Amino acid sequence: MPPLAHDTLKAAFAEQALFEDKTWRLSPDAWALTAAQAEELEAIGGAALEFHAALETLYLRAAAGKNLLRNKPLLAPWVADYLERGKPADLVAHGRDPRNRGKFPTVLRPDLLLTDEGFVMTELDSVPGGIGLTAYLNRLYRGEGGILGADDAMIRNFHASLAALRPEQRNPLIALVVSDEAATYRPEMEWIAHQLQVAGQRVFCLRPEDLFPLGGALFFDVEGNPEKIDVIYRFFELFDLATIKTAPFILEAWAAGEVAIAPPLRSFQEEKLAFALFHHHRLQPFWEETLGGRALKLLRTLIPPTWVMDPAPLPPGAVLDGPRAGGRPLGDWRDLIGATQKERDLIIKISGFHETAWGARSVVLGSDSSREEWQEGVERALALAPTNLHVLQAYRKPRRVRHPLYDAAPPHEAREVDGRLRLCPYYFLVDGKARLSGALATFCPPDKKIIHGMVDAALLPSRVLPA
């Protein structure tokens, strides 16, 4: 198949605006992955699921004051304090509810940067956008051959992961509930719902206010007739739960066993500081005992050093487990303010449960900030620590790569340009395994330090080159 023409791409996106009021650069080709990279992506999905299972064990045992190891003493109540800080008591109780034990996000999406050393995982998102967009791109480019998810795996496995929550029902009614705060992503969820309806599945994209209780269950109106909802896929952050008027009905229906919710309302699963816990020196025996050897080795390669910016005072002479500033260990997180430009290859970002916790809104990259901006980022992180912890993460610079893009101006010629890449593989929890179903590549101009969707980036599906 020849590369996709500019006019073909333009017409396809004009017919289906999967991102409201969003535009991006166009490319004739999908992003090419080597066979070795594709094999690594398969392994990353399994490791991410193992990580979630281990994190649940760590949190619940820490919260209960139980020992973390089988044959040696290791108590870490501070882990629960970190993961519960600033959360409403009822949300914390729900997350600990025994009925939620073993409930993990049905969709896992790591953010992977392509660096000179290979992939680096900066985050692991459990309420990711881009599901419909990636599925659409997979269809659009599948004539190239080798497209990850060319067989509509994104759509099929998304549905399978949700239907599995009600295995007793042959065709459960699934509501994709998108809040107003996440309205940008509603068009792609509506598109997914339509594709599944065409395939005979009962899937609907709704707003929270469309839901209403009836006899302890949850319903919505279809042409004047109430339809009972069996599964809710929530597309909203837990921070927004307090503003959703129908949230009490959702929780009541869940408590009555009338509805399943994905991802589960478990705030500890959505904290970026989980990566800091993975690297915490006191917890290494726990991770080594709990994770499989392959997953542990892979995650240690992928996850950059990360620390919780906890301003709790230290005894005299003690130093923080963290980077160095001015060539010396940190005695206080404010010592970071005096770090040199080279030492500031660090990112500060809020951990979770906050209106700035998604996208790049809370991110401060030290090496790309003025000293004043860096100081402001450090001070803000410490000031918010009583209710909202921040993490500090070592920055791994994406390497320069090349890919063809169409010129924005007529005659829209395709030419190879330099850029940097973020890869977002999507895994769906089906039959107890994380199924790789597609990967969205974001190709940004080389001067962009923080890679995310933007008007001068290209959003591409991924294909695997022959071995």
The predicted model gives 254-262 an average pLDDT of 98
pLDDT given for residue 163 in this prediction: 98
pLDDT given for residue 357 in this prediction: 60
pLDDT given for residue 432 in this prediction: 95
pLDDT given for residue 454 in this prediction: 67
pLDDT given for residue 144 in this prediction: 86
Region class of 326: left (phi > 0), else alpha (psi between -120 and 50), else beta: left
User: Architecture of domain 165-262 in CATH?
Assistant: 3-Layer(aba) Sandwich (3.40)
Instruction: State yes or no: pLDDT of 152 exceeds 90.
Output: yes
Instruction: State yes or no: pLDDT of 36 exceeds 70.
Output: yes
Instruction: State yes or no: pLDDT of 199 exceeds 70.
Output: yes
Convert the chain into a string of H (helix), E (strand) and C (coil).
CCCCCHHHHHHHHHHCCCCCCCCCECCCCCEEECHHHHHHHHHHHHHHHHHHHHHHHHHHHHHCCCCCCCCCCCCCHHHHHHHHCCCCHHHHHHHHCHHHCCCCCCEEEEEEEEECCEEEEEEEECCCCCHHHHHHHHHHHHHHCCECCCCCHHHHHHHHHHHCCCCCCCCCCEEEEECHHHHHHHHHHHHHHHHHHHCCCCEEEECHHHCEEECCEEEEEECCEEEECCEEEEECCHHHHHHCCCHHHHHHHHHCCCCEEECCCCHHHHCCHHHHHHHCHHHHHHHHHHCCHHHHHHHHHHCCCEEECCCCCCCCCCCCCCCEECCEECCCHHHHHHCCCCCCCEEEEECCCCCCCCCCCCCEEHHHCCHHHHHHHHHHHHHHCCCCCEEEEECCCCCCEEEEEECCCCCCCEEEEEEEEEEEEEEEEECCEEEEEEEEEEEECCCCCCCCCCCCCEEECEEECCC
The predicted model scores a pTM of: 0.96
Instruction: State yes or no: pLDDT of 219 exceeds 80.
Output: yes
Provide the pLDDT confidence category of residue 228 given band limits of 50, 70 and 90. Answer: very high
To the nearest whole number, what is the mean pLDDT of the chain?
94
pLDDT given for residue 13 in this prediction: 87
**What are the pLDDT digits (tens) for 73-100?**
999 999 999 999 999 999 999 999 999 9
**What are the pLDDT digits (tens) for 364-392?**
999 999 999 999 999 999 999 999 999 99
Nearest alpha carbon to residue 271 among 388, 120, 106, 365: 388
Residue boundaries of the structural domains of the chain: 42-105+267-304, 165-262, 307-394
pLDDT given for residue 20 in this prediction: 61
Instruction: State yes or no: pLDDT of 2 exceeds 80.
Output: no
